[in-house]
Amino acid sequence: MKLNNLQIKNSFDGAARTYDRYASVQEKSSEHLACLCTPSIKNPKTILDIGCGTGFTALAFQKYYPHAAYTLCDLSKNMIRAAKNKVHASNYIICDAENYEFSGPYDLEISNLTLQWFENIESFLGKTLPRCKYFALSILTEGSFSAYEYLFSKENIPILIHRYRHRDELLALFSKVGNVIASDFRRYDLFFENALEAAKHFKYIGANVIATQQNRAKIVAKLLSSRSKMNLNYNVLFVLLERK
């Protein structure tokens, strides 16, 4: 099962007001991504933030590169509106970044926990790397949200969980399209009183996982009946790519 761009857009539009309160992992991973770049990248003049959300990643990078000209883009107009209230940038673009033709070139492109939503990551990177010197990204990997997925899979209830790739597979992909000059892996854990509270977390950050109306009743019933504590684990790969 796969979300289309309209579903993704609507989910994130609806979460723009609650995102900052609940997206603690996204904020932490933004900060770590920025730290990964600073030993190798000095004084970039232009930075493009792909999937900027409410601006966590741009803010993290502005601590290290305050004089760069930033362009922020996101599929969600409400996320862009929130980012405008937090981040000073030269340009804001509402677009499907995977298929949008950016003017470029950019010294650095950044993307925090966004590429797992793309249909063809390799194709996108093959298109975007020629227009930038460096590309810094974080991406969810295999095993993320495993306890949540297991709750439904043991009863054959289909829910929308992306097929996250193993980090070795991703590193091999990235090495094909660019030079991997830095990488890291971190696991972030969030703990909830029950599965319903975990589901609310997904909703509040825009990453809704209910796939279809057909399954909604079964999913909601399972969420309401589950009383066990729930752990949501984010397995995150960080990579800094250099154009070949």
Where do the structural domains in the chain lie, given as residue ranges? 5-145+162-191+233-242
pLDDT of residue 99: 93
Give the residue with greater pLDDT, 170 vs 213: 170
Q: What number is the average pLDDT over the span 218-228?
A: 85
pTM, full prediction:
0.93
Q: What is the pLDDT of residue 223?
A: 85
Instruction: Sort residue 68 into left (φ over 0), alpha (ψ -120 to 50) or beta.
Output: beta
pLDDT at res. 213: 53
pLDDT digits (tens, 9 = 90+) for 66-117: 999 999 999 999 999 999 999 999 999 999 999 999 988 999 999 999 999 9
**Mean pLDDT, range 227-243, rounded to an integer:** 96
Average pLDDT for residues 172-200, to the nearest whole number?
96
Share of the chain above pLDDT 90, in %: 78
Give the chain's mean pLDDT: 92
For the segment 124-162, what is each residue's pLDDT rounded down to a tens digit? 999 999 999 999 999 999 999 999 988 888 777 766 556
Q: What is the CB neighbour count within 10 angstroms for residue 39?
A: 10
Is residue 64 scored above 50 in pLDDT? yes
* Residue 138 backbone dihedrals phi, psi, to 5 degrees: -125, 145
Is the pLDDT at 47 greater than 50? The verdict is yes
Q: How far is CA 200 from CA 4, 73, 98, 185, 195, in A?
A: 21, 26, 28, 26, 9
Given a cut of 50, whether residue 187 has pLDDT beyond it is yes
CATH code linked to domain 5-145+162-191+233-242: 3.40.50.150
* Structure confidence at residue 83 (pLDDT): 97
Alpha-carbon gap, residue 50 to 239, rounded angstroms = 15
Q: In the prediction, which pLDDT does 1 show?
A: 43
d(CA 90, CA 75): 18
